[in-house]
Chains A and B, each alone.
Chain A
Amino acid sequence: MIRLESVNVAFDGRVVLENVTVQLQEQRIGIIGLNGSGKSTFVRLLNGLQLPDKGTVYVDDLDSQQEGRKIRRRVGFVFQNPDNQIVYPTVREDMSFGLKNLRFPKEDIEQRIEKALIAYGIEHLADRLTHQLSGGEKQLVALVGVLIMQPEYIVLDEPTTLLDLKNKRLLMSIIRDLGQRVIMVTHDLDLLVDFDRVLCFHDGKLASDGQPASVINEYLQLCDQ
């Protein structure tokens, strides 16, 4: 379970998140809000990329202030722009990056890569140069690069923003089948319909929290204001 207690974050004196207290234990949680509402900062707190100025963030009782590295290995993070997440020149090589960091033996790394490439249907991309992939393929590679590390939680920050409809559906079908707990920031409200819970941020505060239909409805009203 991920737990935030009275969390505040400010950048250059500007409050970005204010007094956020929440527990996250559902299988799939959506995060919505207007631009600048604090939702990206919120998810960055969940794997220790961002530390709170006040309050505490616990991931399975690990404090992000003390155990950032351990937390990052439990909480996989998929960024909006896959170009900044892919490290190696070819897909197969990039898959190996996280596994090397986890210090798997070489043979084990190769086996895991083969399995993951097949499991997520990207074996045809294995030896392709990453900078020559399409946007959808890059996002898929970025996601699989995180999944291969078998984190317990997957945080996705607007993963469908750069994707066409076909790739968006493909990505979402993979996300729906994941065994891990998923926390996803998105502006595509229709993707959250079958999620277990949705949180809506507004002006750095948790404005609403609950079932997708009711939270989305409140968010739409906020947008009309």
Chain B
Amino acid sequence: MISLYHPAQSLIHSIAAGHKVLMLLILGTVLFQVDRLEILVVVAVVVVACYGVAKIPFRLAFKQLKPALFLLAIIFLAQIFILGLEAAIFVVLRFAVLILAASLVTLTTMMSHMIEAIEKGLSIFGHWLPVAKISLALSLTVRFIPVIGVMAEEVREAQRVRGMERNVFALAMPLIIRTLKMGTEVAEALDARGFDSDDETDAKSRTS
């Protein structure tokens, strides 16, 4: 989610984020109703073809599946013993198609559009939920995960040059302090850039 967006001009990129998320939900539901392998293969081919339409390189597409390969392998082996080879292929293919489809959505949707779609979805509950704040919190989370990662690496390096190798507790304390300090500065920057934390109509005007 953090670094997935792959900029390109394509039909899939141009589809509204909300529609893509909705299509993903429908696909996920339908896939679990399908019980014929040939239909699943056709869906898989269509999803892979969509990567081509979205001009996403094969290497990047495979990268989305790679972290799940180990888990898929375990599921595959377990299913062979429980239900047999064909069922194992079926289950693993279904998961792979879902992962690829979900990755396609994040690869072709800018974070701000995704967050706008979430805002739109949440706006139904606008009277009960602070929609603008939830939306901003999502953006900030995505934005600052890599920043905190870099910070952790800096603290670790500083400790290593002073003779301390791995120590989770020694890492946690300075990291928490730096993160809190950064939080204060980010809050000031939000103020300075005109974010009105008390004004919920802000979100409503954005999503209307």
Chain A contact residues, CB within 8 Å of chain B: 47, 49, 69, 72-73, 76-77, 79, 81, 83-90, 92-93, 96-98, 100-103, 127, 129-132, 145-146, 149
Residue B192 at the chain A interface, CB threshold 8 Å: yes
Within 8 Å CB of A77, what residues of B?
A: 189, 192
Interface residues of B in 22-66 (CB under 8 A from A): none
* Binary contact track B89-117/A, C-beta < 8 Å → 1, others 0: 00000000000000000000011100000
Give the CA-CA distance A90 to B142 in the complex, in Å. 10
Within 8 Å CB of B192, what residues of A?
A: 47, 49, 72, 76-77, 79, 85, 146
Q: How many residues in B have their beta carbons less than 8 Å from beta carbons of A?
A: 30
Q: Which residue of B lies closest to A69 (CB)?
A: B196
Within 8 Å CB of A103, what residues of B?
A: 202, 205-206
One of B69-77, B143-151, B166-174 contacting the partner: B143-151
Give the CA-CA distance A96 to B73 in the complex, in Å. 43
Whether the Cβ atoms of B143 and A101 lie closer than 8 Å is no
Q: Which residue of B lies closest to A93 (CB)?
A: B112
Give the CA-CA distance A190 to B193 in the complex, in Å. 29
* Binary contact track B168-187/A, C-beta < 8 Å → 1, others 0: 00000000000000100110
Within 8 Å CB of A79, what residues of B?
A: 185, 188-189, 192
Q: Which residue of B lies closest to A86 (CB)?
A: B143
Residue B139 at the chain A interface, CB threshold 8 Å: yes
Q: Which residue of B lies closest to A149 (CB)?
A: B194
Whether the Cβ atoms of B185 and A90 lie closer than 8 Å is no
Whether the Cβ atoms of A131 and B110 lie closer than 8 Å is no
Within 8 Å CB of A93, what residues of B?
A: 110-112, 139
Within 8 Å CB of B147, what residues of A?
A: 83, 131
* 6 closest Cβ pairs, A-B complex: A101-B194, A127-B7, A93-B112, A77-B192, A131-B146, A84-B185
